A = this chain, B = another copy of it.
Amino acid sequence: MKKITLTPGKFKGLKRLSDDTGRFRMLAIDQRGSLRRMLGKATNRKPEEITYEELATAKRLVIEYLSPYFSATLTDPQYGLPEGIKFLDRDAGLLLAAERSGTNPAGKDGKEKTTELLKGWSVEKIKRAGADAVKLLLYYRPDGSPEVKEFQENIVRKVGEEAKRLDLPFVLEPMSYPFKEDEPEKDSPEFAKKKPEIVLKTVEEFSKEEYGVDILKLEFPVDLKYVEDFSFGAFDKKEREAVFTMDDAYDFCEEISNRSRVPWVILSAGVDIEEFLINVEIASESGASGFLAGRAVWKEFTKFFPDESKMSLWLKTSGVENYFRLVEASDKALPYFEHPLFESYANIEIENGGENWYVEYEDFKGEKGEGKKEKEEY
C-alpha cells in the first residue's frame, strides 16, 4: 500500500482550499493593477485616479457575493483583506498573495521581468493572519536568460522554504510573457506556438521538490483563439491564424498532468467566461484538479462601477451563474487526493504520526520538543 505523509498545516490547508469532493473551485480577487484599469475604464478616469476606497469596495463586493460559493478565495493584503475579511464566508478557504503587483524590468535589454515580494509583508504574516495558503505570482520564461531565471527561481525557493517552515500550503502561479525578437506580443501566432513548450518546461522546473510547491496554478497551454475551431473569431470576432487543433489542446494538458509532481489548477488570465469554460473543461478532462478563476468570473461587474447596488446585483446573478457553469465544466477534474502524488485520500498519513508526533513536530524555528515520555493520570 502506498503511504503518503503530510504535515497537519499543509493537510488542513489543502482540505480548506478544496471543496467536499476534493476539487479546487477557487476564486481570485487579488488583482490590483488590472482591476484599477478596469475601474478607470468604466468611469473614464486614469487608473491612478481610482482611490484606495474604491478598489477596496470593489473587492469586498466580490468577496461578499461570491466567497460563499467558491471553495476558497484568493485576495491581496493591500486592498482585499482589510475590508474583505468581514465579508469572507465562514467556510471559504483563504489564500493571500505574497508579491507586489507588477514586475521589474530585467535581463540584458530590460525586456525580461522579475518578481518582487510585497515590501512590509511576508509569508510569515500570511500564516499569522490565519490564511490557508500563500500564493506567489511569478513571471517566468524557462528559455529566458540564466541570471533572470536564477533570480526568479530563488524567490520561489525562498517562499517554498518559508511555507514549509510555517506548515502552510504554497500555490505557485508561473506566468509566461513575450520578450524575444520573434515575439511581437502575447496575442500573436508566434507566441501562441511557443506557449505549450513554455508551460511544460515551467511545470517541469517547479515540480522539483526543492521548490516546495503544493499546487501549481497554470495558464492554459494552448491559446484557444489560435485553435482551428475558434480562430475564425469565436470569442472576440477577430480572425486569427489556426496554429493548433483541439486535440493539441487536450494533448498538452495531459502532458502537464504527466509532468506535474503536484495537483494543478487552471487560471483565467483575463479571458472571457465562454473561453475560460472551455479551458476548464479540457484541463479537467486531462488531469487538472480544478480552477482558480479571477476576471473571467467577475470582470463584467466592473462595467457598473461606481454603482454599488448594480455591481452587487450583477455579482449575485451573473457572477453566481458563472460559478455554477464552472462547477459543471470541472466535473471531471481530478480530486487532489487522487493525483498520483497521493493516489487516494486513504493513503494520506500525518508525518511522524503516532505516540510521539507532537514532540517530533517542529516549531517555527525548526526545533522539536524534548522527547520525554509524558506522565499521565488516570
Contacts from A to B (Cβ < 8 Å):
7-9, 11-13, 15-16, 18-20, 32-33, 36-37, 40, 47-48, 52, 77-78, 81-83, 85-86, 88, 90-91, 94, 100-103, 118-122, 124-125, 127-130, 132, 166-168, 345, 348-350, 353-355, 357-359, 361-364, 368-372, 374-378
Q: Are A77 and B358 in contact (CB under 8 A)?
A: yes
Which 10 A-B pairs rank lowest in CB-CB distance, beginning with the nearest?
Answer: A120-B369, A102-B377, A120-B359, A47-B378, A77-B358, A12-B130, A9-B130, A82-B353, A8-B129, A82-B357
Q: Are A48 and B91 in contact (CB under 8 A)?
A: no
CB < 8 Å: which of B12, B83, B100, B167 contacts A353?
A: B83
Across the interface, name the chain B residue whose C-beta is closest to A165. B128
B residues within 8 A CB of A129? 7-9, 12, 167, 361
With A20-B90, A374-B78, A374-B119 given, is the CB distance from A363 to B103 under 8 Å? Answer: no
B residues within 8 A CB of A357? 77-78, 81-82
B residues within 8 A CB of A33? 376-378
Q: How far is the CA of A5 from the CA of B119 in the complex (A)?
A: 24
B residues within 8 A CB of A127? 127-128
Chosen A-B contacts, 21 in total, with CB atoms closer than 8 Å, are A8-B130, A9-B130, A13-B130, A15-B88, A15-B90, A18-B90, A37-B378, A52-B355, A78-B357, A82-B350, A82-B357, A90-B91, A102-B375, A120-B358, A120-B369, A120-B371, A124-B364, A125-B363, A127-B128, A128-B364, A129-B361
B residues within 8 A CB of A48? 378
CB < 8 Å: which of B16, B82, B119, B167 contacts A372?
A: B119
Q: Are B377 and A11 in contact (CB under 8 A)?
A: no
B residues within 8 A CB of A354? 52, 82
B residues within 8 A CB of A375? 100, 102
Q: How far is the CA of A166 from the CA of B364 in the complex (A)?
A: 11
B residues within 8 A CB of A9? 128-130
Across the interface, name the chain B residue whose C-beta is closest to A94. B12
Q: How far is the CA of A100 from the CA of B132 in the complex (A)?
A: 28
Q: How far is the CA of A11 from the CA of B18 in the complex (A)?
A: 22
